[in-house]
Chain A
């Protein structure tokens, strides 16, 4: 008899396998973390150079400090969300690269179990990765976190992860249906999200139609909520509408993603697209 415990134990197969793969590809992981650190530092450095860039003391030290925090939070939160999205959306791409897709799809595990395992790994991987980058950012910059509400920020991050998982599952159908172009298509989704979600500027300052599109992206609300918690010290009560909205969004997007993926899997089995390697 299939039990939830049994499914969870089976889902751990994907966590353990991915951890093993990370260990074996340690060289690639080092390069990736170095790139991510450099990328984040480069973004946050913009805040320090803003006065010299405009040729005047446009911002006083207090505002520069706030801008440093604004950009650091944007870069770090987006890094985490981007990793979660990528790990989930690349669950098929990994199998295609390694040539194991048919074995995984032939195994007696529900696709939801496969997704739960991949998602659990994405949480752990994203948090470890982001924590390393955060440690470097804290060493390099003087972040003013006196008012930060870390508990509130964590809640927003967890609630917001659900929506990105849902979008990631939908994105994962692309490598399933388009073995050659699918992975690049998921990169387009990720790039579009970073463009419209107010990662480095607030949505209100975006030109149209990006501003309108920003309201459709769950990542916009994740970033607004976390910035409110970490920069302005917003409490859980103040964050409640954001948290509720993100939870509802996640509860809609995850089942929708699973449904889209199920349709894609069935289509792939009808048309013989599981076989081809990307």
Chain B
């Protein structure tokens, strides 16, 4: 059984010293279950967002001054992060807003180029083998991101063409997936602007499922959904993993969701992993308040010194 990896306790060092029962060690030691092929390898990934001063400020400061000002305003969104995920694993990234979760997802999905380190999907580098990686991944983000005037069928047909799925086969598959997610035929052929957010998010899940990704990147897919829709989405994620061996990377604010879905969870704060283990392993690391059974939220509080809702700086990516 793995021991919990505690990489850092930035805001609660004192508390962690007395409550956290683990020691920092190389991330490789907290790797995925042995035996399964590696789906994703993140090796010392780093992403910094520079914030350039305005033109007038740059002119006033001169070349060196402007460079210094730019460096001072730079935001380190992902800071030397390493981990690996096995095929078929559901891997959770837990952390408040602005701590680098979405940036990490964007780095994996080829939407950002890392400033350092490497990210590989089944051994293919996300920068050098961009097109191959794109064929293997899909992403569902917190915003459903559709052409709202178009129907779910039109939006998904568009996605199908981009992913080289024959339109005839795509049509039947789209109907089957959307029905499975609870959309009736009228909704499938009605503009998406008339749909609730929960329904739109289900169409987003369907879009990802349609393209049969081997790695599914879920960036807060259930944020803002009602409990029923949340359960539907969670059931579908499990089904994708169980029936297609899809590897899932899930970012979430929802501790219960992470606990229920994820095989392993990394807690991220300030762009760095502060802990990485199974949900049960993470909970074992702390004594719960009043000796009650600890939750992932208790773990998070112990490791970061703040609640998830407090958040950090807005995500700069």
Query: Which A94-116 residues have a C-beta within 8 angstroms of B?
Result: 98-100, 102-110
Chain B 103-142 near chain A by CB (<8 Å), digits 1 or 0 = 1001001111101000000000000000100110111010
* Given A9-B161, A10-B162, A271-B50: A107 and B134 interface contact (C-beta under 8 Å): yes
Asked if A187 lies at the interface with its beta carbon under 8 angstroms from chain B, I say no
Asked if B73 lies at the interface with its beta carbon under 8 angstroms from chain A, I say no
Chain B 50-61 near chain A by CB (<8 Å), digits 1 or 0 = 100000000000
Asked if B196 lies at the interface with its beta carbon under 8 angstroms from chain A, I say no
Please give me the residue from chain A that is nearest to B131 by CB atom.
Answer: A108
| CB atoms of B162 and A13 under 8 A apart | yes
Query: Which A24-40 residues have a C-beta within 8 angstroms of B?
Result: 24-25
Please give me the residue from chain B that is nearest to A106 by CB atom.
Answer: B109
Residues on A lying within 8 angstroms of B by beta carbon are 6, 9-10, 12-13, 16-17, 20-21, 24-25, 98-100, 102-110, 266, 269-272, 274-275
Residues of chain A with a CB closer than 8 A to B143's CB: 99
Residues of chain A with a CB closer than 8 A to B161's CB: 9-10, 12-13, 16
Residues on B lying within 8 angstroms of A by beta carbon are 49-50, 103, 106, 109-113, 115, 131, 134-135, 137-139, 141, 143, 145-150, 154, 157-159, 161-164, 191, 207, 316-317
**19 more CB-based (< 8 A) A-B contacts, given A20-B158, A102-B139, A108-B163:** A10-B164, A16-B161, A24-B149, A25-B149, A99-B145, A100-B146, A102-B106, A103-B139, A104-B162, A106-B109, A106-B110, A107-B159, A108-B131, A269-B113, A271-B49, A271-B50, A272-B106, A274-B112, A275-B106
Pick from B115, B135, B147: contact of A21, CB below 8 A. Answer: B147
Residues of chain B with a CB closer than 8 A to A16's CB: 157-158, 161
User: Can you report 8 A-B residue pairs in the complex whose CB atoms are below 8 A from each other?
Assistant: A10-B161, A12-B161, A17-B150, A21-B150, A102-B141, A270-B112, A270-B113, A271-B50
C-alpha spacing A102/B103, complex, angstroms? 13
Residues of chain B with a CB closer than 8 A to A103's CB: 139, 145, 159, 207
Residues of chain B with a CB closer than 8 A to A25's CB: 149
Pick from A13, A98, A266: contact of B113, CB below 8 A. Answer: A266
C-alpha spacing A12/B161, complex, angstroms? 8
Residues of chain A with a CB closer than 8 A to B191's CB: 24
- Chain B at the A interface: SS class: loop
Residues of chain B with a CB closer than 8 A to A17's CB: 147, 150, 154, 158
Nearest CB on B from A108, distance (A): 4
| CB atoms of A100 and B145 under 8 A apart | yes
Pick from B138, B162, B317: contact of A275, CB below 8 A. Answer: B317
Residues of chain B with a CB closer than 8 A to A10's CB: 161-162, 164
| CB atoms of B135 and A274 under 8 A apart | no
Please give me the residue from chain A that is nearest to B114 by CB atom.
Answer: A270
* Given A10-B161, A108-B163, A109-B162: A21 and B110 interface contact (C-beta under 8 Å): no
| CB atoms of A9 and B164 under 8 A apart | yes
C-alpha spacing A9/B154, complex, angstroms? 16
| CB atoms of B111 and A20 under 8 A apart | no
| CB atoms of B162 and A108 under 8 A apart | yes
Nearest CB on B from A121, distance (A): 13
Residues of chain B with a CB closer than 8 A to A12's CB: 161
| CB atoms of A108 and B135 under 8 A apart | yes
* Given A102-B145, A272-B49: A108 and B158 interface contact (C-beta under 8 Å): no
C-alpha spacing A122/B316, complex, angstroms? 35
Pick from B115, B134, B150: contact of A20, CB below 8 A. Answer: B150
Nearest CB on B from A230, distance (A): 38
* Given A106-B110, A271-B50: A98 and B134 interface contact (C-beta under 8 Å): no
Pick from B106, B146, B164, B317: contact of A6, CB below 8 A. Answer: B164
| CB atoms of A110 and B147 under 8 A apart | no
C-alpha spacing A266/B113, complex, angstroms? 8
C-alpha spacing A103/B50, complex, angstroms? 24
| CB atoms of B148 and A98 under 8 A apart | yes
C-alpha spacing A275/B219, complex, angstroms? 14
Nearest CB on A from B111, distance (A): 6
C-alpha spacing A98/B125, complex, angstroms? 30
C-alpha spacing A110/B162, complex, angstroms? 10
Nearest CB on B from A99, distance (A): 5
* Given A107-B163, A108-B162: A269 and B146 interface contact (C-beta under 8 Å): no
C-alpha spacing A17/B317, complex, angstroms? 28
Residues of chain A with a CB closer than 8 A to B103's CB: 272
Residues of chain A with a CB closer than 8 A to B50's CB: 271
Please give me the residue from chain A that is nearest to B160 by CB atom.
Answer: A13
Q: 5 smallest A-B Cβ distances: which pairs? A: A13-B161, A24-B149, A108-B134, A107-B162, A272-B317
